[in-house]
Amino acid sequence: MVTISSLVLSTFLGLFWALLRTSHIKVLSRISATFVNTIRGIPILVQLFYIYFVLPEIGIQLTAFQAGTIGLGIAYSAYMSEVFRAGIEAIDVGQIEAAQSIGMTRRLIMTRVVLPQAFRIALPPYGNNLIMLLKDSSQTSAITVAELSLESKLIAASSFKNMTVFTLGAIGYLVMSLPLIFLVARLEKRFERA
Amino acid sequence: MISIRNLHKAFGTNEVLKGISLEVTQGEVLCIIGPSGSGKSTILRCINGLESYDKGETRVDGHLVNRETKDIIWIRTHISMVFQRFNLFPHRTVLENVIEGPVYVKKEDRAQAIRRGKELLERVGLANKADVYPHKLSGGQMQRVAIARALAMQPMAILFDEPTSALDPELVGEVLNVMRKLAEQGMTMLVVTHEMGFAREVADRVVFLDEGVIVED
């Protein structure tokens, strides 16, 4: 659950940072670069602690799930942003000039020419991030989000069946991530054919 | 129709255009020839605002070309360009490439744009390639699609930036043939080229450019 909600958040936010970064307005691009580098430089666990334990001190009270979503979402938006940026920057200038030469506005160029091509380029690293996000969702157990790792730990502690429970937990992650891996590979193939 | 007066352009300290003046009238085919780096392509790119210029002015049908104003969209929808490296949109089919401008820029009815797009592909001899993606085409075919895409905007004039320079020699002919037909039909064309034969045969006027100035008209 926390994976899906933070995936949605990080994708949109990541795209937003990437668009700021590649815009020709220097201030915006610098703000985006600073944010992305700061977030990438701080461990996710520390960010989660910060959101869950420090924010309440200034009056922002969040549930564990909300804090987990926001924490993972923001952390991954930085990685997603880099993936999108690489995709956008890989587009040949000739593409943009061709679009300009038929009278497209900046907005049309982005939505009709640059982004559709950038997404294709970004898909493999995006898929990679998606799988890492799924696994990093286990870190939210540290702020008591009831996800697979935390649940396994609790069950193991009460039943003393460490081997069985944690093996099942590991299999649980695999069962979720393998289909994702295959899905991304299939999407890549489909784009290749086009 | 296209009027260039005393055009200057420098890239850093490298002065590429040193005072170019040129008039292109309706229906005229003007070829610009000259050695590499003489600024031929830069002239074309200044006409539709892909490049800014430092001094002088260029006008299209009275509209001043200025990248910073909204007028630039008007100019670009009325002047098409064909590039040396084709620059087709690889994520769209041949037909989609052709109707992209009419449908999304000029907001034409899609069905009508498709009908006209197919006619244009017929005209450049690629009617059977409408649903193919560009990477399946040869260079000559890609350039003909690019010409159809330029025509789809129903432009007043087309700028050709070395349209055959990136082609294998045996594919040059098919592109020149399409251009020759266009010229016969009265299209206004500004062609930067190394094809002397084409220039001599098709052009109404040939200008020779060297080191940023027109040395022969």
Whole-complex ipTM = 0.91
For chain B, the residue count is 217
- For A114-147, write each residue's pLDDT tens digit: 999 999 999 999 999 999 998 898 888 888 787 8
**Strand order, beta sheet including B55-60:** B14-24, B2-11, B55-60, B63-64
When pLDDT is cut at 50, 70 and 90, the band that residue A69 belongs to is very high
Query: In the prediction, which pLDDT does B38 show?
Result: 83
Query: In the prediction, which pLDDT does B190 show?
Result: 95
- For B131-187, write each residue's pLDDT tens digit: 999 999 999 999 999 999 999 999 999 999 999 999 999 999 999 999 999 999 999
Which residues of chain A neighbour B76 with C-beta distances below 8 Å? Answer: 100-103
Rounded to a whole number of angstroms, the distance from the CA of A95 to the nearest CA of chain B is: 6
DSSP B101: I
Percent of chain B with pLDDT over 70: 100
Is the CB of residue A142 less than 8 Å away from at least one CB of chain B? Answer: no
End-to-end Cα distance, chain A: 33
- For B5-48, write each residue's pLDDT tens digit: 999 999 988 899 999 999 999 999 999 998 887 889 999 999 99
Q: Choosing among A24, A101, A190, which should be mutated to test the B contact, i.e. which has the most B CBs within 10 A? A: A101
Query: In the prediction, which pLDDT does A143 show?
Result: 83
Reply yes or no on whether the pLDDT at B107 is more than 70. yes
Nearest to A65 by CA among A152, A148, A145: A145
> How far, CA to CA in Å, does B77 sit from each of A104, A126, B60, B69, B152?
9, 36, 11, 14, 10
Reply yes or no on whether the pLDDT at A189 is more than 60. yes
End-to-end Cα distance, chain B: 18
Q: Choosing among B105, B107, B143, which should be mutated to test the A contact, i.e. which has the most A CBs within 10 A? A: B105
**β pairing state of B55-60 and B2-11:** antiparallel
Reply yes or no on whether the pLDDT at A35 is more than 90. yes
**CB–CB of A101 and B100 under 8 A?**
no
SS3 B123: helix
Query: In the prediction, which pLDDT does A194 show?
Result: 57
Reply yes or no on whether the pLDDT at A184 is more than 80. yes
Under 8 Å CB pairs connecting chains A and B tally to: 56
**Pair A87, A122: CB distance under 8 Å:** yes
Query: In the prediction, which pLDDT does A61 show?
Result: 86
Query: Residues A64-89: what's their mean pLDDT?
Result: 94
Please classify residue B192 by burial: count the beta carbons closer than 10 Å to its beta carbon, then call 0-12 exposed, 13-18 middle and 19+ buried.
Answer: buried
Query: Residue A116 CA to chain centroid, in angstroms?
Result: 19
DSSP A62-79: --HHHHHHHHHHHHHHHH
Nearest to A129 by CA among A84, A187, A190, A91: A84
Query: CA nearest A191 in B: which residue?
Result: B91
Q: What's the CA gap between B132 and B96, in Å, rounded?
A: 10
Q: What's the CA gap between A70 and A22, in Å, rounded?
A: 24
Reply yes or no on whether the pLDDT at A154 is more than 90. no
CA angle B38, B41, B45 (to 5 degrees): 135
**CB–CB of B101 and A95 under 8 A?**
no
- For B54-85, write each residue's pLDDT tens digit: 999 999 988 889 888 888 999 999 999 999 99
Query: In the prediction, which pLDDT does B87 show?
Result: 96
**Pair A118, A88: CB distance under 8 Å:** yes
**CB–CB of B77 and A103 under 8 A?**
yes
Which residues of chain A neighbour B80 with C-beta distances below 8 Å? Answer: 101-102
Q: Two tokens at A194?
A: 């086009």
**Is the CA virtual torsion A59, A64, A67, A71 positive or negative?**
positive
**Pair B32, B87: CB distance under 8 Å:** no
Is the CB of residue A111 less than 8 Å away from at least one CB of chain B? Answer: no
3-state SS track over B48-91: CCCCCCCEEEEEECCEECCCCCCHHHHHHHHEEEECCCCCCCCC
Q: What's the CA gap between B105 and B114, in Å, rounded?
A: 15
